[in-house]
């Protein structure tokens, strides 16, 4: 998943980005409103974390502009302004949730995951499709209640596909969203990971959780168990 972090305080921005990268996100950073607005409009973004008090262009204006341009990805506000007036302004401008500074990273991470999951149409952080269960908060995948041991990269691919269950995800999108820019862009790597994932999830090839659509990409194929 590719996140955009727009925050003018360098220490905070770098630390937050590093932690997000450690949690398995690809992160784009912007230090002011102008740059932030450019990234937010021009880059492929799955979720944006926007500080409200930015130089050049205010966070509120970025949110309004992004929504006016028709982007629907979730937006999490970081705000030092704790008053409801500011929170409500942000939320009605088009943001989806807020975190008040100073925050614990866990709080941001929990909200980011919740927003991503919701944007994929899941109502709970435990995603269930057929025999497969993925717990986003614990980064834990089970098949028929049996825990599956996945590497962090395998988990990321699994989560990305399952959150978007039913959608076709191209190899390019997977590389784009899961790696940072400087990572080797070799689509074979993705194929290898998908292959390993299939083996771990479905050793006897009975449930077929991940479909390959030739020339188009991959799709998590199991029906969601959750209504919502």
Between 87 and 171, CB nearer to other proteins: 87
Distances (CA, A) of 123 to 22, 51, 72, 120, 184: 25, 26, 17, 9, 34
Q: How far is the CA of 3 from the CAs of 144, 215, 216, in angstroms?
A: 32, 26, 24
Q: Please, what is the minimum distance in Å from the beta carbon of residue 115 to other proteins?
A: 9
| 76: β partners | 49, 97
Q: How far is the CB of 211 from other proteins (least distance, A)?
A: 29
Nearer to other proteins, 111 or 171 (CB): 111
Distance CA(54)–CA(58), nearest Å, equals 5
- Say how far apart CA 51 and CA 80 lie, in whole Å: 8
C-beta closer to other proteins: residue 24 or 53: 53
Closest contact distance (angstroms) between CB of 4 and other proteins is: 18
CB of 103 or CB of 153, closer to other proteins: 103
CB of 96 to other proteins, least distance (A): 5
Q: Which two tokens stand for residue 218?
A: 């991959």
Q: How many Å apart are CA 31 and CA 47, to the nearest integer?
A: 17
Kindly report the number of other CB atoms within 10 A of residue 16's CB atom.
23
Nearer to other proteins (CB atom), residue 57 or residue 150: 57
Smallest distance from the beta carbon of 128 to other proteins, in angstroms? Answer: 15
CB of 208 to other proteins, least distance (A): 30
Rg (CA), the chain: 18
**Nearer of residues 51 and 159 to other proteins, judged by Cβ:** 51
Q: How far apart are CA 6 and CA 4, in angstroms?
A: 6
Contacting positions for other proteins (CB under 8 A): 9, 11-12, 15-16, 18-19, 53, 78, 80-85, 87-88, 91-92, 95-98, 100-105, 114, 118, 123-124
147: which 2 tokens?
């825990």
């Amino acid at each position: 998943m590719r996140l955009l972090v727009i925050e003018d305080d360098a220490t905070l921005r770098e630390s937050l980005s590093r932690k997000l990268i450690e949690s398995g996100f690809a992160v784009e950073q912007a230090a002011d409103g102008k740059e932030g607005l450019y990234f937010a409009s021009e880059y492929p973004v799955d979720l944006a974390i926007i500080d409200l008090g930015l130089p050049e262009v205010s966070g509120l204006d970025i949110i309004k502009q992004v929504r006016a341009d028709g982007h629907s990805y979730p937006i999490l506000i970081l705000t030092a302004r704790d008053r409801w007036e500011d929170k409500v302004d942000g939320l009605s401008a088009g943001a989806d949730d807020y975190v008040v500074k100073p925050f614990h990273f866990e709080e941001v991470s929990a909200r980011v995951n919740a927003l991503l999951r919701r944007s994929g149409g899941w109502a709970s952080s435990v995603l269930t499709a057929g025999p497969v269960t993925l717990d986003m908060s614990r980064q834990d995948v089970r098949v028929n209640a049996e825990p599956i041991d996945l590497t962090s990269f395998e988990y990321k691919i699994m989560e990305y596909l399952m959150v978007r269950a039913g959608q076709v995800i191209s190899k390019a999108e997977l590389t784009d969203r899961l790696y940072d820019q400087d990572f080797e862009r070799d689509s074979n790597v993705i194929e290898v990971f998908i292959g390993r994932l299939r083996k771990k999830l479905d050793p006897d090839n009975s449930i077929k959780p991940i479909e390959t659509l030739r020339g188009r990409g991959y799709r998590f194929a199991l029906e969601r168990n959750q209504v919502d």
